[in-house]
Amino acid sequence: MKKRVLIWLAGIFLCCAIILGTSQELITSPMGLYDAAPPRTELPGWAALVDQPVPIRGRAPLMRCEASLIIDNLSNQILYTQNALEKRSIASLTKLLTSLVFVESGVDLSTVVEVTKEDAFESSRSKLRPGDKLSLRDFLYAALVSSDNRAARILARSAGMPKQTFVARMNDRAHALGMDSTHFVEPTGLSQENVSNARDCALLLNTVLKNPLLRQVASTPETTVQCVNRRRLYHLVNTNRLLRGGFQFVGSKTGYIDAAGWCIAARSAAQDGHDVTVVVLGAPSNTNRFRALSNALTWAYGLPLLAGSGS
């Protein structure tokens, strides 16, 4: 009898050990089980050279901001760098990774979700009201086009995992992309503890824009979404006002809180073949943010095309 009990206890102990070891490596998602720590992706050549001096061709662009980076995606080279490794708060640039992790979770974008009072907490500038019901696709547009914080919270809580797990997944994904100076504590960018640098933000933007859906959303100048339970239409205008100017954008995202200053990450491709990613962090005003971006693109477009492997 004692021998049977010992065998039974040994079996329970073995099963518990297997379950414990497995749970440390896997997380449940709508798509099933996936690795908690995604494998590291290969970094583009420019990413390892940000700390090295960059020879400026011609007169440098005027960039009134705390940190910036200009990359030529065609040649995979850095054109201009300014404090690009300095860790800073990045405000709503956070939503780029929130959207990427959300889309990669495999949630059905036609799913209708209701805005709750918790979603609306300390995000008064949103057009979305508690009780509104919209599709997750519309919330995705609201998060990236008009930088809606309530929409970003809804994406995070609708991805099929607890908030803490979603944020952990954001950090795992950032690490896998080589964003080693980046850390997130929540999905909107309202917290000053969401930190990164210009190099990591450029990596993030270029990765997000490889996703066809996110590329489409992040380059949308304006759109209209409709509540399914109320007679309300919400007109969403992209926070990148240069989208309605003379530049052609592959995608972009703005950000602002007091601790971060005025920020933007943008990728623009011209008909002559230029393909440039620009990151502006800590501009002193909204005007200076867009002036820095415009100056960067105008300057980069004026340079001869460089041959290379691209990104």
Backbone dihedral angles phi then psi of residue 189, each to the nearest 5 degrees: 100, 0
Buried b vs exposed e over 42-57: b needs ≥16 C-beta within 10 Å? eebebbeebeeebeee
27: which 2 tokens? 């997380």
How many Cβ atoms from other residues are within 10 Å of residue 64's Cβ?
16
Burial class (CB in 10 A: 0-12, 13-18, 19+), 307: exposed
Query: Reduced to 3 states, what is the DSSP secondary structure of residue 115?
Result: coil
- 304 vs 307: CA distance, rounded Å: 10
Of the residues 105, 147, 252, 268, only one is catalytic, namely 147
Contact 281, 260 (CB under 8 A): yes
61: which 2 tokens? 């662009």
Please name the amino acid found at residue 248.
Q
Task: Report strand pairing: 32-35 vs 88-89.
Answer: unpaired
Whether 126 sits among the annotated catalytic residues: the reply is no
- 222 vs 224: CA distance, rounded Å: 7
Whether 3 sits among the annotated catalytic residues: the reply is no
Whether 252 sits among the annotated catalytic residues: the reply is no
Of the residues 92, 146, 158, 252, only one is catalytic, namely 92
- 155 vs 280: CA distance, rounded Å: 26
E strand spans, 124-248: 133-135, 195-196, 222-226, 233-237
Of the residues 95, 146, 219, 311, only one is catalytic, namely 95
- 160 vs 172: CA distance, rounded Å: 17
Query: Dihedral sign, CA of 29, 96, 216, 148?
Result: positive
Q: Active-site residue numbers?
A: 92, 95, 147
